[in-house]
A = this chain, B = another copy of it.
Amino acid sequence: MTLDAAPELPRISLDPANCPVRQVLDGIGDKWSILVMAALSVGSRRFSELRRDIPDVSQKMLTHTLRKLERDGLVERIVTPTAPPRVDYRLRPLGESLFLRLSGLAAWVIENRAEIDTARSSFDGQD
């Protein structure tokens, strides 16, 4: 099938093989990637600072997520040749522009949370 609801997307497919919605979800939509980008949206951070910002991320998962974001061109790894070397991470312009879209989604949730809560109470009352 194809869709024509969104102004920027005249026709999109839901076919698993060629579906931009799925590409969002599989490629960049994982929870840790979004939280790391959110943490970096205030400025560059060191690995240890990111671990403090996101208390429930494991060291292994944070390493994996940063590497994935770096590979996608969303995050830059900056090594300062001190002794020991200092490593900082920061959003590239591509990552900033993606995070802006994600923030729009978060803003939607904040704006509409009361309406969702009301709908839930009403639905649960029917059961």
Contact = CB atoms under 8 A, between A and B. Distances in A.
Contacts of A116: 27, 72-74, 94
A47 B21 CA distance: 20
Q: How many copies does the complex hold?
A: 2
Given A3-B38, A6-B100, A41-B3, A73 B105 contact: no
Interface stretch (A28-36, A58-66, A79-87): A28-36
A110 B55 contact: no
Given A73-B119, A105-B105, A6 B41 contact: yes
Instruction: Tell me whether chain A's interface is mostly helix, strand or loop, or mixed.
Output: helix
A105 B103 CA distance: 10
B123 A56 contact: no
Contacts of A53: 1, 14
A39 B14 contact: yes
A1 B112 contact: no
Contact of A9 (B2, B106, B122): B106
17 contacts: A1-B42, A4-B42, A5-B42, A6-B100, A6-B106, A12-B103, A14-B53, A16-B56, A22-B31, A23-B109, A23-B113, A25-B34, A73-B115, A73-B119, A98-B108, A98-B112, A102-B105
